[in-house]
Every structure is written in structure tokens, then in C-alpha cells.
Amino acid sequence: MTDSLLATLRRVDTPTVCNAIEVVQGRRGFAAFTRGTVAAAHPGAPAMVGFAVTAKLAGAAAPTEPPEVIRTRRMAYYRMMAEAPRPAVAVVEDLDFPGCVAAYWGEINATVHKGLGIAGALTNGVMRDLGDLPEGFPVVAGSIGPSHGFAHLREIGTRVRVFGLDVAPGDLVHADRHGAVVIPPEVIPALGDGIARLLATERLILEPARRPGFDFAAFEAAWTAFENART
């Protein structure tokens, strides 16, 4: 992934990326996106973009493994986050879903991840400390709650499932307040051009619709131009 594409991806929202993937693929039907409504810590923040660094956790009940096993896994997790290829996004599945209670993503943990160079976090679990989460570190979560519960890591570096989206370690993720997508590797070389083409065709509709006097005749002409540009 080039620096130019990375900058482009950071400028656009996740629905735009979802549509642009279909532009590159030349068909509808792209399905590697989340389902359901997410909660965003910073709704107006730019999208997070990066290669997935994955883990699974739980927190509704106390862990049954020995404390030294839990601690060793925790330290391995943070080492994985620190050493993952950049840009990187933490993608953490809460195994208690949909009954998640443990807010793994709070002020301290989010600040630690940001300090380690992670671009943001995507989870079906819980976040807290709204207003104190660090700027420049988007958290897209399943819910908001007050307690960390018994949060403990169960697996690191394995395939996870968040809001119906399967994410493997190293997948390229784009996420914002709308949800997340996994960008297929085969579309990456053409994705920048696909985004530019998508935005250009959308302007064929949006610009006339925003002008005074827009009516059905203007819509019909604009829609014809829009359809011709997509074929």
C-alpha cells in the first residue's frame, strides 16, 4: 500500500470505500463489512486504516486460567501490538457478545495503544471514559459501559469475528462511525483510482441536486449522466 493510497483512505469514509471496492470489482455484491449499529468514541474523527492485529477477550466472568498464564498472554499481546506492521488497527472480539460488560477500551488502555503506534481499535465489545479517550485514536465499539468487569485476553493473533465481519491477522481494515470493511488484497492497487472515479460520478448527481431550481427534468438528465458514467 502506497503512502498516497493511505492518505486517500484516511480522507474518505467507510461507505465510500465500500462503494469504491465495487467500482474496482465491476459489480455489486461486496460483503466483507460489519452488520448492525456501532458506537464511535469520536464520531467526527477521520477513519482508522491499518492492518489488523487481532485478539479475543472475555470479561463477564472471572478467568479460570492461572494468573501467570493470563499475565503472560497479556504481555505477549502488547508486544504483538508494538511490533505489528504499520499502519496497524487493533481488532478485538469480545466473546461475551451480545452480553458484553467489560470495557476493555478506556482511557488508559486506549492511550497505551496509541502510544505503541496503533491507529485505532475496532471491537464488538465495550468502551468507556468517553471524553477522556485520546484524540487521534478512534474506537469503534459495540456498546458503552462503566466497568472493566473481569476483562482478560483469551487468544491473540487469531481470526476474529466482529459484527458479522471475519477479520484475519494482517487484513487491511477501514473503519469509522458507520462500521468497518476488510479491503480485499486484489483491489488495493486500483483502489485509489476507484475512489476517484466513484467521487466523480457522485458529483454528477450531487452538484445538480444542490443547485436552486432542481426539479425532475434536472434529476432525469443528471441520473442519465450518472448511469452512463458507471457503465
Look at residue 23 and tell me whether its pLDDT is greater than 70: yes
Q: Looking at residues 133-137, what average pLDDT do you find?
A: 96
> What pLDDT is stored for residue 229 in this prediction?
85
The pTM assigned to this predicted structure is 0.94
Task: Residues 31-183: name the CATH superfamily.
Answer: Ribonuclease E inhibitor RraA/RraA-like (3.50.30.40)
- Per the CB < 8 A criterion, the answer to whether 88 and 50 are in contact is yes
pLDDT (tens digit per residue) in 155-164: 999 999 999 9
Tens-place pLDDT, residues 30-72 = 999 999 999 999 999 999 999 999 999 999 999 999 999 999 9
| 81-91 tens-digit pLDDT | 999 999 999 99
pLDDT on residue 230? 75
So where are the chain's domains?
Answer: 31-183, 190-230
Report the pLDDT value the prediction gives residue 231, as an integer from 0 to 100. 58
Q: Mean per-residue pLDDT for 99-110? A: 98
